[in-house]
Amino acid sequence: MPTIVALAPNGGRLTKKDHPKLPLTLEELASEAHTCSKLGASIMHFHVRDQHGSHSLDAGIYREALREISPAAAGKIILQISTEAGGIGIGNGRALYTPSEQANCILNSGCSAASIAFAEIARAEKAFVKNFYAQVTERKIHIQHIIYSPAEATELQRASTQGIRLGAHKLCLLFVFNRKQQAVQSQENFTSFINACKKPFADEPSLLYFICAFGKHEQARLLQAAGKIHNAHIRLGFENNIYRPNGKTANSNAEQVAEFVRSAKENGIAIASYKETRAQLGLDAE
């Protein structure tokens, strides 16, 4: 099974002060989709900002972004919007976007693929969560569930056994390693984390899972994840890390994609094409 490379070019927190080539404008994101698709990325998970440069889940902003970026992405890379609250304030003293606002972002943006931090959506009442997923399933929006801990993986698995259909496609997860960017994260810790997150889904034959890793050891961890032991798909980019494996600041997201793809191929890891990615996500059946 070829490894899917998903690009996360900007995130919701970084600014041009963190890296001058962080893509924030729609023109920059379109260019990123075009360039990185040619290097091996077949999904682009992106965030948008409001007029003040802050993380936004405004459906209208995403709708405009998808309209502007789609011509550069068509037939080359899948556009996946982000709906994580991000822990960023949105005014009126609120620290997080609500589940209702997150659901509205997906259902009214016109997106065909989105990521959901399940623990955030699950803050709502079960009836709301069930209705939301019913709408997502009916519209055949591809959903990737973001998992930050083994406990969240257990909660997601429990929801799937309690009458909540988690989308119209294969169950797709993203395990996020070293989110708090602790100084030392060993290979042993990484392996334990993946195995613990996978454990609740041991009986799920069609499970499709991605790994992302924060910090300077990102590429080493992703190569490990994509290898024969874990056989995972991967997500990389400035959202998680702006450094190359040698510790120097990366020049661009494109450089990171190219470097991973080159290393993967040197290690006998095949990279999924756009068509292979669609097939693995279960999009070809639509």
Kindly report, residue by residue over 180-239, the tens digit of the pLDDT.
Answer: 655 445 667 888 999 999 999 988 777 899 999 988 889 999 999 998 778 899 999 999
Locate tokens 């920059």: which residue?
Answer: 28
- Are 140 and 110 in contact, with CB atoms under 8 Å apart? no
Residue 52 pLDDT grade (very low, low, confident, very high; cuts 50, 70, 90)? confident
Give the pLDDT score at 150. Answer: 94
Give the pLDDT score at 91. Answer: 45
Distance (Å, whole) CA 175 – CA 152: 10
- The CA-atom distances, in angstroms, between 56 and each of 26, 116, 123, 129 are 14, 14, 19, 21
Domains present along the chain, CATH in parentheses = 5-281 (3.20.20.70)
What does pTM read for this prediction?
A: 0.93
Residue 89 pLDDT grade (very low, low, confident, very high; cuts 50, 70, 90)? very low
Distance (Å, whole) CA 210 – CA 276: 15
Counting every residue written for the chain, the total comes to: 286
3-state secondary structure of 165: coil
Give the pLDDT score at 197. Answer: 94
Distance (Å, whole) CA 101 – CA 116: 12
Q: Is the pLDDT score of 271 beyond 50?
A: yes
For residue 254, what are its two tokens?
A: 């494109």
Give the pLDDT score at 92. Answer: 46
Q: How far is CA 182 from the centre of its chain?
A: 21
pLDDT, one tens digit per residue, over 100-116 is 999 999 999 999 999 99
Q: What is the residue-averaged pLDDT of the chain?
A: 90
The neighbouring-strand residues paired with 84 are: none
3-state secondary structure of 235: strand
Question: What is the chain's alpha carbon radius of gyration, rounded to the nearest angstrom?
Answer: 18
Q: Please choose, from the candidates 69, 71, 148, the residue with its C-alpha nearest in 3D space to the C-alpha of residue 115.
A: 148
For the residues 92-107, what does the mean pLDDT come to? 82
For the residues 24-30, what does the mean pLDDT come to? 96
Distance between first and last Cα of the chain:
21
